[in-house]
Amino acid sequence: MIIVWRVSERCNLSCKFCGFDRELQRPRAEADPGSILRLAPILSEYQRGTGDAVLVSWLGGEPLLWKPLTALTQRFVRDHRLRVSTTTNGTTLGSPGVRAHLLEYYSELTISVDGVGAFHDRSRGWAGGYGALRRDVTALANEKRNGQAGPLLRANVLLMRQTISGFAQLCFELSEWGFEEVTFNQLGGNDRPEFYPAHRLLPEQADRFTEELPGLRAALARRELRLGGGEPYLRRIRASSRDERLPVDDCKPGQQFLFINETGLVAPCSFSAFGYGVSVDEIGSVEALCGLPAWFAEGRQRRRLPACEDCHSTRIFEKFAA
């Protein structure tokens, strides 16, 4: 069971493709720590009773800037024996204390990297950011190696028209930093529709990327770097580049994946929170948790959301498969 919980909409960078860009004038909601703590023992009981290991993944904004997160993570791991991961922009990794906390408590750490060198810095509004990431990720990887414990180190790369040709070079550089896995997302148009048209992937780029990926995957494997992205995921990328819709009849909602947003709505994915969402405070028992798949399935039978007629859920399309 994977639970992705977006805990904060605040961020300290200004990525023009992202709806959480610090320069956008918009409200910034944050999760209720009490609701998070109340769900923890239920997840722990579910894990013990079913044998289904639970991974809770914090999302933002920039989650590592959210002050309650450190204590919440310690409680999840120490008291409830749950695994924890997060996706971060990496701006806090220069702190030895932050790295020590990540090494002790986290099972997976995903760090966003957009391109080689100056492009990453410009796209994130972070002068010197690429160099800082190289230094700090290398330090983290060395500390993990020396301590023989720590999270899986994953880089996630955003594919855009201007950067996809440099993806292979970026992967080889990331292998030198100590990453163990690389995944990727194509640029989407929901967050910043004004940015999307000039930066989206072209069909010929998506086709070439699909053709070249097996060779790149084999070359990276020789460097002990795993490259994700199964065939269904590549099909989703090619379809998006051509504006082709890919509906999903049955995504088995809530059976192995839940998304919880910053207001506490529990949903089958991030695209359906305001259509099928249930308040996390209504999940007061393992029975209620296990009842979510039936609840979501009934909701989809009553009314399929437009998002289901053109599904962009990376989980459904096997982003992490290789």
Model confidence at 36: pLDDT above 80: yes
Residues 6+ apart with CB under 8 A from 108: 55, 57, 83, 85, 86, 151, 152, 154
Report the pLDDT value the prediction gives residue 168, as an integer from 0 to 100: 97
**pLDDT > 70 in the chain, percent:** 100
264-278 mean pLDDT: 94
Report the pLDDT value the prediction gives residue 300, as an integer from 0 to 100: 87
pLDDT tens-digit profile of 150-184? 999 999 999 999 999 999 999 999 999 999 999 99
What is the DSSP pairing of strand 181-186 with strand 265-267? unpaired
Model confidence at 15: pLDDT above 80: yes
Model confidence at 249: pLDDT above 90: no
Q: What is the DSSP string of 215-256?
A: HHHHHHHTTT-EE---HHHHHHHHHHHTT-----S---TTSS
pLDDT tens-digit profile of 187-201? 998 889 999 999 999
Q: What's the mean pLDDT when you consider all of the chain? A: 96
56 pLDDT band, cuts 50/70/90, is very high
Model confidence at 18: pLDDT above 90: yes
Report the pLDDT value the prediction gives residue 102, as an integer from 0 to 100: 98
pLDDT tens-digit profile of 256-267? 999 999 999 999
Q: Tell me the whole-structure pTM to 2 decimals.
A: 0.96
Sheet order of strands, 152-159 included: 226-227, 181-186, 152-159, 108-113, 83-88, 55-59, 2-6, 257-260, 265-267, 278-279
Q: Residue 35: which of 217, 261, 322, 273 has the closest Cα?
A: 261
232-238 mean pLDDT: 96
301 pLDDT band, cuts 50/70/90, is confident
